[in-house]
Amino acid sequence: MGASLSSIWASLPPPTDFFPPSPAAYTILLTTFQYFPICTIFQWLLPWHPAGKTSLQTSFLNIPGRIAWSAMEIVGPINLIYNLSLGSPSFSELPAANQLVAALYCIHYFNRGIISPFFSAPSMSPIHASIMTSAMVFNWLNSSCIAGWLHGYAIPMPGFKTDGSGALASSSPSSLQEILPLIGVALFILGMAGNIYSETALFRFRKDEAEKRAAKKSDSQVPAGDDKYHKVYVIPPVKGVFRSILYPHYVFEWIEWTGFALAGTAVFPLSALAKTNVASAGTGVGVASRMYPAPWVIPAVWAADKYGLPLPLPAVLFVINAVANMLPHARWGRKWYVEKFGEKGVAGRGAVVPWCSWM
């Protein structure tokens, strides 16, 4: 066993090859990231998630909510910008589509890492260090995969006509290849707007409830500053985006990242980059080693192969992993709402599926 582990360790690229990722490191990162859904199994089985509504009141591993939230969200754009600034071709040499996709990613996380915790949220409960650390690892891994993809790495996948690399079937793009990125950008904007609107509404509900409670108390009983909003939660009213589900902000974020993946069909691998004279044999961009897709990734690879589209593999993995990570949280969150406000308060709404008590 020890000899096998030593052999595997010796075959890995040196640590410097991951900053930014080389083609070999890119394959390892993608292969690792595609199996993230397996790690979420325990999330379905255990309600333990010491953050937000379910944070632990006292723990020496608690991190102040705003700081922890910002730290775990801002890792992604910082790592992406760092990798794209160091890699070859440089960010300025990449096609406009690659630059746009990078910008969309950074815009999302600027809102999540700066605007949301420090300007929108009335308060944030402490976040356990384990939650913060795992989220930082997730975002580092995700952004590293996206960096390799935007640098034009092609990754062969045996068993498919285009080797799963996303190489174009012909030099002239089809109408589908031209329209999908436009649809993707529109979906991204719609999803981000809906996510911000839904989350802002939740913050407003909490603020209004806190103000009502404060109005019933004397000035000496009202906590100062953000403490007034601490652990003040209300169930969203049955109207608007909350009419049939309790977590529309999750659904809108999934729409956002689905749009991101569709916009990513305009990001070409090495073969296409070379045709545009952005990359050449001497730029350092290359073909990653062979990768076998996980079963849940195969439909996306098949669709890209069938329609001759570039495969935005890291973006596809991001959508899959985001849903796999957030879905069990939404399900446990609905259960929390039932326990806190009763079935009457929940009013038959689902977590993310309209009027579905299980989901």
In this prediction the pTM is 0.89
Most confident of 13-27, 152-166, 185-199: 185-199
Looking at the predicted structure, is the pLDDT value of residue 5 above 90? Answer: no
Answer for the pair 351, 246: CB distance below 8 angstroms, yes or no.
yes
Cα–Cα distance measured from residue 317 to residue 320, given in angstroms and rounded to the nearest whole number: 5
Reported as a single tens digit per residue, the pLDDT across 299-329 is 998 898 888 888 899 999 999 999 999 999 9
Identify whether the C-beta of residue 137 lies closer than 8 Å to the C-beta of residue 129: no
- What is 61-74 written as a DSSP string? TEE-HHHHHHHHHH
29 confidence band (pLDDT: 50, 70, 90): very high
Give the pLDDT band of residue 176 (cuts 50, 70, 90).
confident
Q: What is the helix (H) or strand (E) element at residue 195, kind and residue range?
A: helix 175-215
C-alpha to C-alpha distance for 48 and 75, rounded to whole angstroms? 24
Mean pLDDT of the chain: 85
Exposure letters 63-86 (e unless 16+ CB within 10 A, then b):
bebbebbbbbbbbbbebbbebbee
**Region 93-117 average pLDDT:** 95
36 CB contacts (<8 Å, ≥6 apart)?
138, 317, 321, 324, 325
Which three-class secondary structure state does DSSP give residue 347? Answer: coil
Instruction: Give the count of beta carbons closer than 10 Å to the beta carbon of residue 267.
Output: 28
Q: For residue 294, count other CB atoms closer than 10 A to its CB.
A: 16
User: CA 115 from chain center: how many Å?
Assistant: 17
Instruction: Over range 200-227, report the average pLDDT.
Output: 75
Report the chain's terminal Cα–Cα distance, integer Å. 42
Q: What number of CA atoms fall less than 13 Å from residue 191's CA on the CB side?
A: 24
Integer-rounded Cα radius of gyration of the chain: 22
Whole-angstrom Cα distance, residue 198 to residue 207?
Answer: 14
Q: How far apart are CA 293 and CA 155, in angstroms?
A: 11
Lowest mean pLDDT among 57-71, 160-174, 218-232: 160-174
DSSP E strands in 51-141: the ranges are: 62-63, 127-128
Residue recorded with tokens 């990001």: 267
Q: Are 72 and 139 in contact (CB under 8 A)?
A: yes
Instruction: Report the candidate in 125, 128, 84, 123 with the shortest Cα–Cα distance to residue 103.
Output: 84
Is residue 34 scored above 90 in pLDDT? yes
